[in-house]
Structure 1
């Protein structure tokens, strides 16, 4: 008697679904890149696992170290800012913290502009101080003051252009030159410029530079650019992400190893969102800029405004420096969608707050770069070591323009001013 032929053993349904052999054909192309999500990354063999290297993006080892999605975003951001290497972090503040933790150690000192982004100052006053890293604040509008503050313990100088909230635009190339002359690393918070208003790694590409001033690329350059991708690269007010970009390979490796040890990563869908927004970034940035200029010009006609702080406007602190860096070639330099006004001191804080509350299109909220216009009143006295001599008395209000009609926004400003900031 012959045995009946046996049916091939079929795996359990769950096993079959997990190990299904089908692979989609290669060659698929579409406007948006694919999204790769992974913690675990497969290796074809133990030998391949031991040979793979994640530091140079030549292969994949673990989701935290990079996927095709994050590699692509990093490379596009390098193209945007003119850098050569990039790492992604979960927020703009995380980018600032990563820079500090990568290059500073106990006994070192960091110099920070007195008008810097507040959380960066708080980081120095908190965690960095706990680690034995000292800090001092310098006047970014006075390069001599920066030089006076640099000591043998200074390892890092932060730069911002323009300054946070009060919008002073420093002589950025000169500040970088001072850092170069002292052999000190300089890092720029480039969120405002975003790689569009100016190139942080090519500040004076046509200038005659000494070897100490020019990097390997032959141009006056910051060492590190930190960028809150939360703002213009995202553009939707719905993503928190930051980047740290460099040109120097050894410096990048130091940052990347610290990045790995801290376990910093970004979600694939967040990276996808920024990738989707990047193609429209130039158009959006210019639209924000034009609307901000229209609103700033309107404020100049209002007696309630004692001072306008917008780098592209003559009379604004550091306007000449903005013009030299951002407007040197075409006469059509960019200036983002951010500006502040000083409401005359005759109006109380309560009146200014009521004005902000009375706006209908402007929402009260932090951040900027999204589609909705924002407004925030600030207490500058609590944010600076001393009241800046170039600022008039009053209450500062910062505006971030969205993508609404400039005409509609001006009507909104007008009704709120009439209702809450009346001229006696």
Structure 2
């Protein structure tokens, strides 16, 4: 563990999870692959208890997984522990199943990640769990939406695709007063840019395939919880049988060490690209919460420590073919899902899954800004806009 909890995040991200008993004399804890764990005698079997960070059976992890989980916990002041999953969606589903039971009600922000909505409208519904969607700007007013059977609020701020911000501290305070758990999808910001536990969140979820991995070559998720919820999260994770391969955990730990540096460089470039696009006549709206003209920017200025790497903008046209020409004219932006890696990406965005919220007119495009020279990226965007 880090020597001093007062270390700043950039220092903790380098040191966290590197226990001497796990790493020995090497810098990084090695890859421990195991299914069977051997005991010295029968008494040791009787004394052993399955738990996070304890040798019991391969399903419960080895130092390779524990190292990454401990590092992620140390990045989140106020957290009691972290569990790892095979994807961000798996982390979200397990967090929800930790909190909810048949007959319960969950409130989910309208702008949530599409697969989260499908999970709620399909799997949770079949379990007898009701889902209601709320507007991102509800703030403390969410208390008016609570029902006697409401057990959880699922927050995502900024929201997927259209990046609406939420007053997370106000929502969490209202939920805690009512005895309702809060779950935050904090993938866009990570704990480096938005410390979730400090804002009152009970369980914070990351798609570690993004910033933590950083190289677009692994699927990984995490859920970090406070002392009240971590034991239940751990139990649910083990009961369902979740396990992350030590090789993927090792890749995640390696990527984590440079995450702070990548986020700073890519975040600054992202805002520079967003500001440049805002001055182009072909663009009608830029949806980036760090821009002062973005609705809810005051929340960003109050709560966030920097910019994520992904945002959307609206072309000033209703012509889908023109948007397609623009995307396909780009040379430095790969066309592909996900984000958070070192390379720039572009995708068309059609937030049709919403149930009533208005969004910016025009054809939406989502950009992930990588580590390329920002001047080259802007030149590429310029030629693609001219082409389209």
Normalised by the length of structure 1, the TM-score is: 0.84
Counterpart for residue 210 of structure 1: none
Asked if the contact 1:54/1:66 (under 8 Å) is kept, the reply is no
1:418 is the counterpart of 2:386: yes
Between the aligned partners of 1:27 and 1:162, the Cα distance in structure 2 is: 37
Between the aligned partners of 2:318 and 2:139, the Cα distance in structure 1 is: 35
Q: Moved runs in structure 1, 4+ residues, more than 4 A?
A: none
Residue 385 of structure 1, aligned match among 344, 355, 372: 355
Between the aligned partners of 1:335 and 1:360, the Cα distance in structure 2 is: 24
1:230 is the counterpart of 2:222: no
After superposition, where does 1:14-413 map in structure 2 within 5 Å? 28-55=24-51, 57=53, 59-82=54-77, 83-143=79-139, 146-203=142-199, 221-249=200-228, 251-326=229-304, 333-344=305-316, 346-380=317-351, 382-388=352-358, 391-413=359-381
Larger radius of gyration: 1
Q: Give the Å deviation of 1:27.
A: 8.6
Between the aligned partners of 1:67 and 1:338, the Cα distance in structure 2 is: 34
Between the aligned partners of 2:163 and 2:248, the Cα distance in structure 1 is: 29
SS at match of 2:173: helix
Asked if the contact 2:155/2:183 (under 8 Å) is kept, the reply is yes
Between the aligned partners of 1:293 and 1:81, the Cα distance in structure 2 is: 25
SS at match of 1:372: coil
Aligned-pair RMSD on alpha carbons?
A: 1.6
Q: Give the Å deviation of 1:409.
A: 0.5
Residues 9-31 of structure 1: per-residue CA shift (max 9 Å, x gap) = xxxxxxxxxxxxxxxxx994122
Q: Give the Å deviation of 1:144.
A: 5.4
Between the aligned partners of 2:357 and 2:145, the Cα distance in structure 1 is: 19
Between the aligned partners of 2:225 and 2:23, the Cα distance in structure 1 is: 32
Residues 346-396 of structure 1: per-residue CA shift (max 9 Å, x gap) = 34011111111111110111111101111111112x1211242xx331111
Residues 186-235 of structure 1: per-residue CA shift (max 9 Å, x gap) = 110011111111211112xxxxxxxxxxxxxxxxx211101111110100
Asked if the contact 2:52/2:60 (under 8 Å) is kept, the reply is no
Between the aligned partners of 2:333 and 2:234, the Cα distance in structure 1 is: 39
SS at match of 2:133: strand
SS at match of 1:357: helix
Q: Give the Å deviation of 1:81.
A: 2.0
Distance change in 2, residues 1:199/1:144 (3 Å): closer
Asked if the contact 2:346/2:366 (under 8 Å) is kept, the reply is yes
Between the aligned partners of 2:339 and 2:214, the Cα distance in structure 1 is: 9
Between the aligned partners of 1:317 and 1:369, the Cα distance in structure 2 is: 24
Runs of 5+ unmatched residues, structure 2? 1-21
Between the aligned partners of 1:225 and 1:317, the Cα distance in structure 2 is: 24
Normalised by the length of structure 2, the TM-score is: 0.92
Distance change in 2, residues 1:61/1:322 (3 Å): same
Between the aligned partners of 1:93 and 1:226, the Cα distance in structure 2 is: 9
Between the aligned partners of 2:353 and 2:99, the Cα distance in structure 1 is: 26
